[in-house]
Amino acid sequence: MSHGHDHEVVSGGATSPLAARVRAMEALLVEKGVVTEAEIQDNVAYMDSRSPANGARLVARAWTDEAFKARLLADGKAAAIEFGIDAVASPDLIIVENTPEVHNLIVCTLCSCYPRNVLGRPPDWYKSFEYRSRAVREPRAVMREFGFEPPEGTRVAVHDSTADVRYMVLPMRPPGTDGLDEEELAGLVTRDSLIGTGVPAPPDRTG
């Protein structure tokens, strides 16, 4: 399973045929008065605002506020809305907490169900058949290919997302972060750690 570890690569560049078709459709819709250019730009800005940074902010708050953490674990969707994330129309969101005893891994074996409101667009590898099949059968091998494996004795729990329920991992707070504020803590939280294929970066590796 090859990732190249540039997990943010998205297919369809600015000059691709697909991009050209999208621009042509946008121009036609604007010309016919179906939408305005401003509405298109507003929608693009909204889509771009949905990113792993939202999930990272939720995690950082949970690491520093035990009451919020309890609410997040009890009802992830309600806690996300409370935090100002637009998740009203989203499926239920279940937050699963990593502990020294259990490490959680998220997958969607049927397609690519993903908590887009809190994590943005799913990476290409998350949607791949290889990840969707192997994450259930051999999760430790998959995580090794991302450069991480839970310690021996830590149980791996794999959670299968559906059309009605999405999952996000609440990773463990790295040691040596007692003096960091919420913004600094959020900067340690990687997208992979919110899916479970990795863990947050320690402070000395965030440069």
Annotated binding site for Fe(3+): 108, 111-113
Active site residue 90: no
Could you say which of 11, 16, 51, 112 is catalytic?
A: 112
Active site residue 16: no
End-to-end distance of the chain based on CA atoms, in angstroms?
28
Could you say which of 11, 16, 49, 113 is catalytic?
A: 113
Please report, in range form, the residues annotated as the binding site: 108, 111-113
Active site residue 111: yes
Could you say which of 11, 51, 90, 111 is catalytic?
A: 111
Could you say which of 2, 108, 133, 161 is catalytic?
A: 108
Active site residue 193: no
Point out the residues that are catalytic. 108, 111-113
